[in-house]
Copies of this chain bind each other. A is one copy, B any other.
Amino acid sequence: MKFTVTAARDLAERVLAALGHDATDAVLIADHLIDCELRGLAYGGLARAISIAERIARTGDRRRAIRVLHETPVSARLDGGDQLGYLVAHRATQIATGKAEATGIAVVGASDTWYTGMLSYYAEIAAARGLVSVIASNASPWVAPHGATEGRFGTNPICFGFPSADEPVIWDVGTSAIIHAEVTLARRLGQLLPADVAFDAEGQPTRDPGAALAGAFAAWGGHKGSGLGIVVQLLGIMAGSPPIPPELAGFGFVIITMRPDLMGSADDFRANVSAYAKGVRTARPVDGGAPVRMPFDRSRAERQRRRAADAIEIPDEICRQLNDIVARQPAGVNS
């Protein structure tokens, strides 16, 4: 079903209100989900609201206020209060960017959260304030380390962001061979997974998304990529995540952000980032290949295209389930 961006945003906000979020939080979470849709990452878009509803149905609403447990001029540690990562990570980003603007560099960690979304969302916030950022978020042990068939870390995204004289450079990757939300969406739509991305509970390769969710996904990038997944898990542990979090709870989030003028002229740095990006994009492509892309170029182009068309396509089955949530639980019931 085709929505205008405004209509899709409105639907997302109504679903989130039905799930007990006040207007401010619903707007913030919906903005993140809509940004996923605009960027063509449907598995992290409106479909994610169904996964949120399922999680709350399973555990009950355990939310507490997000609290600062410990703070210094260059750091803060938050208790996420079992709130959605979209909210906790946004709060952490606000605190980290404020502190970095004041002191030069800051680190903020948060524990007891879940579903932190696209880390690039937070890196864009930091870059818009002229800051370089390093962001990581761990999760439940859905992913097997290289050489193993049992989960020991999450799909564990990591992201670096850089301001430039024009568009920021953002590198945001997951460290698993497949993203959790892709597997959930495949199960929801009755599709098979690609080969070689998952093990079942007995450690045998599987293409069944249900079996993969009961087993483990493969790590991305052999031993190097697997090591990066471990790095993200350790950063999450530093932020207060248990070494192996339970299902969809207890995730950690870390953002380090800094002013490039600690090192020299910020203007020179921004100009150099832009010049460098241009240099990469104009590198000679492989025979018959497309022009070379910088990280985030695809996302930026997709977002511009859908914004210009003012159109977001949501599968009918997802629309039906979203409308069910709104019908089942009128806004305000849990808030």
Contacts and interface: CB of A to CB of B under 8 A. Distances in A.
Interface of A: 69-70, 72-75, 77, 103-107, 109, 132, 134, 144-150, 152, 160, 162, 169, 171, 173, 203, 220-221, 223-225, 227-228, 230-231, 233-235, 237-240, 242-244, 256, 258, 260, 262-264, 269, 272-273, 275-276, 279-280, 283-287, 289-290, 292-295
Contacts of A280: 145, 148, 152, 230
Contacts of A109: 262-263
B162 A285 contact: no
B231 A273 contact: no
Nearest to A291: B147
Nearest to A294: B230
Contact of A227 (B171, B225, B269): B171
Contact of A276 (B72, B243, B275, B294): B243
A224 B244 CA distance: 26
Given A70-B262, A147-B286, 16 more contacts: A75-B258, A75-B262, A105-B106, A145-B280, A145-B292, A146-B292, A149-B284, A150-B283, A150-B284, A171-B231, A225-B225, A227-B295, A230-B280, A230-B295, A233-B276, A243-B276
B239 A77 contact: no
Contacts of A230: 169, 171, 280, 294-295
